[in-house]
């Protein structure tokens, strides 16, 4: 578990063993069983989490009652409601485990402590935030410019292992289409 977080950190910045140990000590490990929630709409998100095992979906329910999946977080991914966490306001999101999962959680207070006492950590989160913005920008452009068929094929290509673990309903909620329309897309692709 510790190794996954360390590897993730070292992919972005270099820290000494002492800095790594100090940063790692700020996290609390939590088990979340399948279908249980790490966060619900209306709660204030008090963590940033690093997935060490399992799979989560981060989603919103719109005014018509439809789920809109922002992203799926698998092993070595970070999860949070950044708006709620940063601004300490009620969340508009749900974070739910899709299988038995484990996460390492850091509080806002402990993250600020890390910023002040391990200055390289601020760079770590800046780099990760930039990568998140890039991914969100690309996803928005894809949603605006690509057909549902193209977005589905991109999803399969980008997340081949994840694709196998999800239901049609979950994939459709990520793509912003109905599961019936996804079934049509799958039939069309299979017939080619």
Average the pLDDT over 55-60 and give the result. 96
The CATH number of 2-117 is: 2.60.120.10
Per-residue confidence (pLDDT) for residue 94, from 0 to 100: 98
Residue 9 has pLDDT above 90, yes or no: yes
- State the sign of the Cα–Cα–Cα–Cα dihedral 85, 75, 104, 102: positive
pLDDT in tens, 98-145: 999 999 999 999 999 999 999 999 999 999 999 999 999 999 999 899
Alpha-carbon gap, residue 175 to 62, rounded angstroms? 15
pTM here?
0.91
Q: What stretches of 118-178 adopt beta strand conformation (E)? A: none
Residue ranges of domains in the chain: 2-117
Assess contact for 15 and 90: CB atoms under 8 A: no
Cα–Cα distance, 79 to 167 (Å, whole number) = 21
């Amino acid at each position: 578990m510790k190794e996954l977080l360390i590897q993730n950190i070292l992919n972005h910045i270099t820290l000494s063993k002492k800095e790594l140990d100090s940063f790692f000590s700020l996290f609390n490990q939590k088990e979340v069983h399948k279908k249980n929630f790490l966060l619900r709409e209306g709660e204030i998100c008090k963590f940033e989490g690093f997935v060490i095992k399992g799979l989560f979906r981060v989603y919103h329910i719109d005014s018509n009652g439809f789920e809109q999946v922002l992203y799926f977080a698998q092993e070595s991914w970070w999860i949070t409601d950044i708006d709620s966490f940063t601004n300490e306001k009620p969340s508009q999101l749900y974070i739910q485990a899709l299988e038995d999962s484990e996460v390492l959680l850091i509080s806002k207070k402990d993250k600020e402590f890390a910023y002040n006492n391990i200055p390289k950590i601020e760079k770590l989160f800046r780099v990760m935030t930039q990568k998140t913005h890039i991914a969100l920008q690309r996803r928005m452009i894809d949603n605006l410019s690509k057909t549902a068929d193209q977005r589905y094929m991109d999803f399969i290509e980008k997340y081949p292992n994840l694709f196998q673990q999800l239901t049609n309903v979950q994939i459709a909620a990520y793509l912003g289409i109905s599961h019936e329309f996804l079934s049509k897309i799958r039939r069309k692709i299979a017939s080619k």
